[in-house]
Structure 1
């Protein structure tokens, strides 16, 4: 487990995640989104909008220029490690977007294009967010505002994109704006899925008359941590110990078998949890 944690904090691993993620995002943005005149959310959406109206420079160049003042402010208000990784992510995104400027992935139908670009850009964004940094842009601005004024990061992102797409109705066809909204929605769902794929865990509660033995077997046979919670039966009023542990999908079936081997009458409760930090699991991301 310590090796896994060391890998998650290694410079090479984080640069790899940022490189792969930025390449995917740029491929979707330039190979599909820009070809159909869509907007992505965030700062890259601003860059695309400016490029559509001016055809001066490129979306990659506008993205880079829009990020410069954000990173200048971030240097004063955001942690150095997060900012430097995000700077790399932003530069990599700009570079790949410039390289992929002439790429056309050949998706012609507008709806298919919105779906495909949403999946590709969302996957890229999710991979970048699994690192200790981000792709820059709106993430840096949101963290600055959160630290300075307590504004929720998700709330700021939603508000920013709402203003962006409302403004786009003035100069863009309604069908294109709707397709862009579909793209942003699918990208957000894909991003959440990619993050969950890396980090989703199961919280397991076991209520049994043999909780001590079950807890011991979880530790000795499966190498799981276990915590005893004090509970009381609603009907009997008897005090009892509830076993709580956190596991993954791979271990879950083995854990179920172990519990019911010890006590066929046990109550086995499983809940999904998105993030588990501390202990033998991941460390928190410091902004």
Structure 2
């Protein structure tokens, strides 16, 4: 019972750290690469940039706060108060950092600028979404759709951005819009990579004449659970137990060594999984 306050405090500081790091990367790419090259980022930040250019009043950071207001109401009503507060912190950090960051990056080639900005912004968003909050804007919409309809965050962001790019044609040239679209595509891909790199696991099916021995070694030596599935050979008609287990990427080779030293004739299938929810791997994130 005494460990709970410590764990709770650690969780708060860890989540705030993720928000600050994610917001810093995103704001740096936005201020140092996107604006100097006259790209726009899509999402609420891109919409804020368009409105700022169009009306000529208030900086981007102020419009970011204004447009985010109704989205944060949705976060409060449809997700949780904790998610709302973390996301509010992230959005305020992002707005402040965009306003005060002085740095620019000397990248003259627009193609390289697209790759650099997209990669950094995608990494920043992905790191922030590893927390229990977000950076606001379309990230909140992505979380809501992911929770309710299992829509991947990168898909939500890219779909929303398409509308923003259509509006951007009124203020930017076609070349600038296409560069911006490519940048957002890179950002969405990198964000999905950061979100998935810690959750990828390998589902392994092992067909062997020594299933009991293999299962025992998996349990005792690798400290991983496994399950017997009842199987029957289509050609031989022979019934046997199929061993099913889940391991992380670095354990695959060790599992292969374990299996084939037990039964050199074993038939092993290794598949990638999108996500595994379990106390031994990743617990379901509760916002």
Normalising by structure 1, we get a TM-score of 0.90
In 1, Cα distance between equivalents of 2:189 and 2:106: 23
Give the superposition deviation at 1:158. 3.9
More displaced 10-residue stretch of structure 1: 200-209 or 177-186: 200-209
Matched with 1:96 is 97
Preserved CA contact (<8 Å) 1:115 1:183? yes
Q: Separation in 1 of the partners of 2:118 and 2:8?
A: 29
Shift of 1:79: 1.6
Task: Give the Cα separation in 1 of the matches to 2:144 and 2:27.
Answer: 25
Distance 1:235 1:286, change over 3 A: same
Alignment pair present for 1:220 and 2:220 = yes
Give the 5 Å matches for 1:132-281: 132-143=132-143, 152=151, 156-281=156-281
Cα gap change, 1:265 to 1:151, in 2 (>3 Å): closer
1:197-233 deviation digits (Å, cap 9, x = unpaired): 2221111111111111101101101111111111111
The equivalent residue for 2:39 is 38
What is the aligned partner in structure 2 of residue 75 from structure 1?
76
User: Aligned pair in 2 of structure 1 residues 221, 151: CA closer, same or farther (>3 Å)?
Assistant: closer
Contact 1:51 1:57 in 2 (8 A): yes
Q: Which sits farther off after the overlay, 176-185 or 36-45?
A: 36-45
Q: Name the counterpart of 1:111.
A: 111
Structure 1 contact 47–63 (Cα < 8 Å) conserved = yes
- Residue by residue over 1:63-108, the C-alpha shift from the partner in whole angstroms, topping out at 9 and shown as x without a partner, is 12211221123222222222222222212211221222x3211111
Q: 5+ unaligned residues in a row in structure 1: which ranges?
A: 1-5
Specify whether residues 146 and 247 from structure 1 end up closer, same or farther in structure 2 by C-alpha distance, changes over 3 A only: closer
Tell me the alpha carbon deviations over residues 241-270 of structure 1, each in whole angstroms, 9 at most, x when there is no partner: 111111112211111100000000011111
Q: 1:3 matched to which residue of 2?
A: none
Does structure 1 conserve the Cα–Cα contact (< 8 Å) formed by 2:157 and 2:188?
no
**CA 1:173–1:120: 2 relative to 1, 3 Å:** same
SS in 2 for 1:111: helix
Distance in 2 between the 1:188 and 1:11 partners?
A: 27
Structure 1 residue 156, shift from structure 2 partner? 4.8
Q: Which runs of 5+ in 2 are unaligned?
A: 1-6
Query: Which one is further off, 241-250 or 277-286?
Result: 277-286
Quick check: 2:125–2:135 contact (8 Å CA) kept in 1?
yes
Note if contact 2:158-2:184 (Cα within 8 Å) is conserved in structure 1: no
**C-alpha root-mean-square deviation of aligned residues, in Å?**
2.4
Alpha-carbon displacement from aligned partner over 1:1-30 (angstroms, at most 9, x marks no partner): xxxxx6998112111111111110111111
2:282 aligned partner = 282
Distance 2:113 2:54 in 1: 21
SS across alignment from 2:36: helix
CA 1:141–1:191: 2 relative to 1, 3 Å: closer
Q: Which moved more, 1:20-29 or 1:156-165?
A: 156-165
